[in-house]
Amino acid sequence: MHFLHKPLPYLLFGVLFEYFTTLCSPLQVSPVSCGSKNISSYYGHCVTSQEGVRELVCFVPLGLSRNGWECMWTPRKHLVYQTHRYTLIIEQKMIHFCKMYANISGTSQTFNLSKKRNMTAHLFDESDPKSCTKNVFSGSPQQLVRCGPPSNVDLNRHSRQLDIQASWRREENKYIALYSVRYKELKSQSWKEPPVQSKDSNRCTLGNLNSSLSYVVQIQCVANDKCTQCPWSKNFTVPPELTDKPVIEMVEDFPQTKGSRLVIIKWKFAASELAEGYSVTVGKASGEDPIEAFNTSRTLLRLALSHSAYHLTITAFNNAGNSPAAQRTIPPLDDKDLYGRLNVTFNGNTSFTVSWVDDLIKTYSCFSVEWWRRGEKAAHKSFYEDENNYEVIHLEEPLELYKKYTFTLHTRPHKEPCNLKFINNSESTYGSIQSFFTEGSPISAPGNISSSNVSQSSMVLEWTAVPEEDNRGFLLGYFLHYTERLQDWTDTEPNITVDAGSTSYELVDLQSSTVYRVQLSAFTGAGMGVRSSAAYFETKPEASLAVSGVIAGSIVGVTLLLLVVHLGSQLLKRAKKLLWPNIPNPGNSNAIQKIDGVCDLELLELINRQMLKEEEGDSNSLHIVNGREEMSPVGNLHRNADSCLHLNTDHGESQGPSLSTIATDRAQDPTSDTITSIPTDMRQTDPVLISTVAHQCHPLAFLSDYTTMELFQQAMPHCVPTNTSSSSSLSSLESQDQSSQISQARSVKPGQS
């Protein structure tokens, strides 16, 4: 009701206009003639505002109808109401043309207009009853021809680049020579400047991009005299680049019935969150069309294939392009249990005939045959046959000599033409066979001949097989040639035939301790191949000889051990004598033996005489005899020297003559046969060792220990016998009472009375 403040004529006009547009709103907007004065006075309250309707543009699309026009605009930024209501008025003042399109809900409007006059467009936005905004556009028809945004755009990211392919409608393509591209990062507010221009009308490349970022791209044509307007296209969002390739984890075969197999393919992709799906392409390795593509969002694919070889590629994709491809070759399935028997006959080296046994033509009429050599691409030919069970195949390239070929026949459930229609579940394999066009003998020999488990009469020989390409035919086996080393090869030499599947053989019934010369050769249907180099092997000796050798070795070893021990002990003794010499024992010397003998006899004589005196009644004298110690003569010398010192110091001149003096006097008077009595006072007070009477103390006894025999020679004159008669009587007396008297004398100790 915003018309109430207007004058009455304009109010009437507004009411009629609203009524008219209300009736027509459900239908297509139709133009209404209008007068310029009424328009300017009626919409005079509407203002131009940046917040209101804006960016009004009108143009003539290239290639459309002769008088086809279109105006487009952008709605206001902040709209309270959900519905739009626009009014578009088109004027050509030179010819007093005025058309009004009311109650428009969209943001564009098409209309017819003469292209010979300038035009003016008025757009009023009445969506908000409280405010009315407007926008005006004017231009010449010749400058308003527009080539719109591209109708098709392909984006592909790779290697930090973005490849763009853009195309326009057919009417526009012939006038567009170049186009421009502007781009920015997805979260950025500003476009990168300047825009990148294409190299031709189709291709443009953006380089030096960040592979992990998303971008926004817009495209526009480059304006020319035919395309005066080139607007920017809508935004194309480019996701991050797929830099990783899928990893094929598993390709497994499961043979099925009638020459088909189930192939399960499984893979994984590291950046799976960036991928929209996966593209799997499968084609026959022979190159026969078609190559079938399978798009899937899963990482698993099942296919029903024949026994042929196939090439497989897997890529991840999104709307920015594809990842690098993972590739795999599915090898042909070597199934010995195929249900059909296949035969091949060669008609020279330029053709062959393939035939089959079963009556296949009742079920199939389309066939395909493949043939190949190992390591080479297979050749193929499909044919139609509904009368015979064979087919002659003519070759573009001749067959080679001594080469093994594999031939495979497939059946197809199609009618003519018999080319492959698709890959999955399209054919099955009937049979397969291997054959040589011409066989030859092997050109190399088995190698690495060795022996093991050698005994006195046998050994096991082992070798490596001849390379398959050197067989030049079907390997039938090996010839093993062997003889004693000193014998020459003869026609009667032992030859053994070994199966083709074996690479070892045990020779038996051999001679012990014998060297054998061995050679090997392979053979095919064309004959024996070359011999290997001679190898020499020796059997072990007899067991008895071996045992005797062990025994002899043991004896020699024990003997050597004893000899070493004996010599070692002798050497140790000699070393001991050299390093630690023994001190001689004076008791074992002749001089000491003589001294002891004379002194003992002298002592016994004195004892016997004393006992005789006692028997005569002499009881006033006491003689103390000290038993001779069990000491070596050297010890006696020491002890006698000590006694001499003792007697000279303690019983010198104050006590009269000593026992030693008495003994000495007795020794100097050989005519006396009695023992001089010791005074009573002396006998009662000082016991004296009788052993000191036996010999005079020599001055050398006080110098040092015994060192040489000279000492004993100097000591010998002090204990010489007195006369022969004394010796005789002493001997007789010794025989009677020596034992008892010595024991009694020893029982008396110094200090006892």
Residue 130: CB atoms within 10 Å: 6
Cα dihedral 545, 551, 554, 559, rounded to 10, equals -120
- Residues of the chain short of pLDDT 70, as ranges, are 1-28, 35-38, 40, 64-67, 78-82, 486-492, 543-549, 580-753
Encode pLDDT of 519-571 as tens digits.
Answer: 999 999 999 999 999 999 999 998 655 556 677 788 888 888 888 887 887 78
Residues 6 or more apart whose Cβ sits within 8 Å of residue 727: 601, 721
Strand partners, 130: none
What is the DSSP secondary structure assignment for residue 220, as one 8-state letter?
E
> Distance between CA atoms of 629 and 642, rounded to whole angstroms?
15
- Tokens 């189709």 correspond to what residue? 202
- Cα of 581 vs its chain's centroid, Å: 72
Half-sphere exposure of 215 (CA within 13 A, CB side): 25
> Distance between CA atoms of 351 and 122, rounded to whole angstroms?
83
> And the tokens for 103?
């109650």
> And the tokens for 164?
């763009």
* SS3 of residue 42 by DSSP: helix
Residue 515: C-alpha distances to residues 446, 459, 492 (Å): 21, 12, 19
> Distance between CA atoms of 354 and 346, rounded to whole angstroms?
9
Cα dihedral 555, 558, 564, 570, rounded to 10, equals -100
φ, ψ (nearest 5 deg) of residue 118? -65, 155
Strand partners, 312: 282, 328
- Asked if residues 287 and 377 have their Cβ atoms less than 8 Å apart, the reply is yes
The pLDDT, as a whole number, for residue 676 is 39
Residues 6 or more apart whose Cβ sits within 8 Å of residue 437: 346, 349, 399, 400, 401, 403, 405
Encode pLDDT of 76-86 as tens digits.
Answer: 876 655 678 89
Output the CA torsion sign for 303, 309, 311, 314: positive
- Asked if residues 690 and 603 have their Cβ atoms less than 8 Å apart, the reply is yes
Cα dihedral 34, 38, 43, 47, rounded to 10, equals 100
DSSP result, 424-471: TT--EEEEEEEEESS----SS--EEEEEES--SS-EEEEEEPPPHHHH
The pLDDT, as a whole number, for residue 79 is 61
The pLDDT, as a whole number, for residue 594 is 58
The pLDDT, as a whole number, for residue 204 is 94
Half-sphere exposure of 49 (CA within 13 A, CB side): 15
The burial of 480, by beta-carbon neighbours within 10 Å (0-12 exposed, 13-18 middle, 19 or more buried), is given as buried
Encode pLDDT of 399-452 as tens digits.
Answer: 999 999 999 999 998 888 899 999 999 899 999 999 999 999 999 999 999 999
Residue 56: C-alpha distances to residues 120, 228, 624 (Å): 11, 17, 167
> Distance between CA atoms of 406 and 432, rounded to whole angstroms?
7
The pLDDT, as a whole number, for residue 43 is 84
Strand partners, 215: 185, 238
Longest dimension (CA), the chain: 208
> And the tokens for 735?
């025989």
Residues 6 or more apart whose Cβ sits within 8 Å of residue 277: 295, 296, 297, 316, 317
> And the tokens for 701?
């006894």
Predicted TM-score (pTM) above 0.95: no
The pLDDT, as a whole number, for residue 7 is 42
What length does the chain have?
A: 753
